[in-house]
Amino acid sequence: MRSSLALALCALPLATASASHSARGIVDAADDEYDFVIVGGGLAGLVIASRLSEDSNTTVLVLEAGGTGDDVADRINTPAYTYSNGLVKSDYDWAYTTTAQSGINNHAASWPRGKVLGGSSAINGLYIVRPSEIEVSAWHDIIAEDDSDAAEYWTWDSLHAAMNKAETYTPASSDLQSLATISDDSDDHGSNGPLHVSYPGYSFQAVSDYQSALNSLGVEHNPSPDAGQNVGTFVATSSINPANWTRSYSRSAYIDPISRDNLHILPNAYGTKINWDTGNSDNLTATGVDYSTDYGVSSKTVNAKKEVILAGGVIGSPQLLMVSGVGPSDVLSSVGVEVVNDLPGVGQHLMDHLGSAIIYSTSTDTAGSLLANGESSAEFLSFVNSATAYVNLTTMMGGDAVSTLKSSATSALDDSASNLAPSSDDTVKEGYKTIQQFSANMMDQSVGGIELLLNLMGNGYVGITAAIQHPLSQGRIYINSSSVFEYPVIDPAYLSHEADLPVLRAGFKFAREVATSDALSGVFGDESTPGSSVQSDDDWDAWIKDNVYTEYHPSSTCAMMPKSKGGVVDAHLRVYGTANVRVADSSVFPVPLACHLMAPTYGVAEQAADMIRATYNGAGESGTATSSGSGPEETSEGDNNGAMAAGPAGLVGVLAVVVAFTMM
């Protein structure tokens, strides 16, 4: 009997929207001047643009390097297509690559990022997983050293309210809750925001079995993972609209439902340089942005009457700062960029979740096997995520081993900063130590040191991905050209700190225990990767160095830390040394967060919009989101995402995407 069930989350009719996105505010040419110019029409940029343009007397321009995505709407909208017919390695993917990484046997890692309206929220794995309160409190404390008042924007309560403001949560139906062991935590979510947060309309008995396996090994079910403590096992919420089982992302949620003459969005427009009025010796004032449609094409200039806001992500935002003369002077001078603001922390403190998957054969139904058999209902094609777990290190390694590891990491902070920090600047080294101390402190706390994700997307195989959440390794991004059309150098310095490898090793060993537990004996068959020959620590380490990859969660290259610690932005998200330039995206996180970064990035964007509006017109309240919800409601079309694709074309060959199912 099939161990799966198509289940509606609620009694909502399927929407019948038109087959193409509505072009709300999308223009072919920009005006000469706007109040706000936002560079980057990804997740954060579109949120901020939508919120700022709620004020009818405010004009906003968004410059987005990618296209609209209208011609690939079905590939964006259908959740299951993410892992089989998605946009990775297409024209809508920046397709970045890291440098050869000495810590992983000189392998270079692929870093896909969304190059389309909506950014990575249009191509990622739809996970909505929030950080824990202890992590956000550390974030607050770091920036409160400089500005205790503005730091109130970054308390857990404030960020939690901002994440809630972004979303409308729909719980799973009682049948789905029973089948997949899903709890209703409506009290911890928003109910009136633009972004739909829900669950796939289809699940498998194996999802519940996986959680039972973790329970048997001391990892408890977490009924409220989004309330400030995500350690434990649970089924993650996803950015899915249960009205039509489509992806809900920043464009469909914040832009498509509105029609405003004061908001312009210009696709296929690369921000190439920020222009400065250098007359004020204390703080640079941005006068506008140069932009171009392609390399070698003459640039145009748009003026910003109030602010320039960078939302280009962990790679694009520091790159644009550097080519505009803001960043480490040695880097800028080496490529002929005039230094207007020597800010050593730009591009530094790069961190990422690093992981891999252990793979087993299976004879049970999986998403891949049902696809091969022609399953194509809208509910089924919404299946994209299942169960995950955030496991603390003590559970995996034991208290004594964790204590030894923490002591070693803490005692070596100065040596690590001197020998491993990818900068000779003392302020950057101080920030390096601050972040390392945070990660060391997390080792013995009730917080996720490793994420373990169940993978049911294959045909004839199942897997568990293990990924480190608080790496001590830090890298950097830097330019090697004065042109934004030349990709920057991306060096995450994977496994450069000796403490990261034993943590990853413990994660994979624990994943094997989960896979071979009695609760999963009917699901997991023979181990194919890495295979039973991998047993000793040396075996594991060799396999790890040859097989790890990004979990697609890079952060912190424009870190919100004191300038004395290599910070780039203050608590108001303003770039140090500038009067009117802010950064608002995942590059501002000052510490690594044990979560998928989409949820906190929505929170950052909502907070950014709130504080900017408060600066100019008094809207909003310092430190908190303006309401528990509310958002674009100006048309009846809403977040419908066009028509669902009718069938599973291109979905059967899903084996190749086992390593790409955890994006964001």
| Catalytic residue positions, numbered | 553, 596
Judged by DSSP in three states, 27 sits in coil
User: Is 313 in contact with 584 (CB distance < 8 Å)?
Assistant: no
Residues 102 and 229: their CA atoms lie apart, in Å, by 35
Q: Is the peptide bond before 530 cis (omega within 30 degrees of 0)?
A: yes
Tokens representing 554? 């890079």
Helices (H) and strands (E) in the chain, counts: 17, 28
Q: Which residues are annotated as a binding site for FAD?
A: 116
Residues 494 and 583: their CA atoms lie apart, in Å, by 25
Tokens representing 629? 């919800």
Tokens representing 93? 């993917």
User: Is 162 in contact with 134 (CB distance < 8 Å)?
Assistant: no
Residues 323 and 478: their CA atoms lie apart, in Å, by 10
User: Is 312 in contact with 320 (CB distance < 8 Å)?
Assistant: yes
Tokens representing 101? 């990484």
- For 223, other C-beta atoms within 10 Å of its C-beta total 14
Q: Which residues pair with 196 in a beta bridge?
A: 168
- For 448, other C-beta atoms within 10 Å of its C-beta total 30
Determine the length of the chain: 664
Residues 46 and 38: their CA atoms lie apart, in Å, by 9
Residues 396 and 379: their CA atoms lie apart, in Å, by 36
Tokens representing 112? 């896909």
User: Measured between alpha carbons, how far is residue 642 from residues 4, 14, 46, 187, 555 in Å?
Assistant: 28, 11, 19, 30, 32
